[in-house]
Amino acid sequence: MKQMPLTNIAPLINRSLLRLVGADTVDFLQNLVSNDLKTLANQKVVYSALLTPQGKFLHDFFVIEWDDDIYLDCLTSRLPDLTKRLTMYKLRADVTLADVSEEFDLYAAFGSAPSEYPNELGGMSKNSDGVIYADPRLKSLGHRIVSRKGSSLKALIPNSADVAFSAYTAHRLSLGVPEGGTDIVPEKNFLLEANFEELNGVSFSKGCYVGQELTARTKYRAKIKKRLFSFHHDGDDLEVGDSISLDDVEIAVVAAFQAPYGLAFTRLKNWENSSNGSSLTTSSNITITKPDYVILPDLTD
């Protein structure tokens, strides 16, 4: 018998689930977040962000519509702040927020996906036990699972192997994909610096939302000075915030690192001057690579 492709399944131990219920929920979020939620009606999960009025990153999350409710898959450590900010904006809208993390398990599934998995970015399949959806950011990231506690949803996935959360982190970092709240610093980074456009996390046609004007200006008027690139380093001597230098000039700052993979905000001018177009290696054996999905602006203008 032919062996089926192996699917790795990692528990997303750093993620929580916030449920929003009420007649105004979708309109309420549509006026706040960076992406267009109209695609929820097409049975798709949406990746999006909440920004400051100045266009700085605050939160990122996956927006899931299931059983007539809206769920936000978000970072656990940032959940209280997200809840506080959404409540502040809610005013008289018919929206009720509840942390339902104790009712569900969240997983990432990556490797070789079974053919019955949703294939289109953000595409989802759902039943009474939960939801399986293709990560809307990047196809190679794989799938995500929202499973009710005690359900058999995860057990039904054929030829799967349980792996540690660190294995998924390595997979994500190797692809150059950041996670908001850790790799993207709240109230510091702009969305486009953190590759949100290529990761399908921002719409430039949906109309107004909090921080929209500054985000659009960053794209259409101002040059982006730095971008989040991936790097490889075999040592264990790097920490978040460390400088990466080339010829005694800082070219990047570490945003995330789990040896041997990391992410670094890289100065585009230095990259243009020193790289071969796809990578560069420093004297300390740190190789910075432009992720395949990243599209760089024309720096010759």
pLDDT at 278: 86
pLDDT at 2: 39
pLDDT at 138: 97
Per residue in 226-264, pLDDT tens? 999 999 999 888 999 999 999 899 999 999 999 999 999
Q: Is the Cβ–Cβ distance between 233 and 260 less than 8 Å?
A: yes
Report strand pairing: 7-11 vs 104-111: antiparallel
Q: What is the spatial distance between Cα 18 and Cα 74, in angstroms, rounded to a whole number? A: 7
pTM of structure: 0.94
pLDDT at 236: 86
In the predicted model, residues of the chain with pLDDT beneath 70 are 1-5, 155-156, 222, 298-301
Residue 236's Cβ-count burial label (10 Å; 0-12, 13-18, 19+) is: exposed
Q: What is the spatial distance between Cα 198 and Cα 209, in angstroms, rounded to a whole number? A: 19
Q: What residue has token string 């519509």?
A: 65
CATH number of 7-174: 3.30.1360.120
Q: What is the spatial distance between Cα 240 and Cα 231, in angstroms, rounded to a whole number? A: 13
pLDDT at 299: 52
Domain parsing of the chain, residue ranges = 7-174, 225-289
pLDDT at 156: 65
User: For the chain, how far is it from start to end, CA to CA, in angstroms?
Assistant: 58
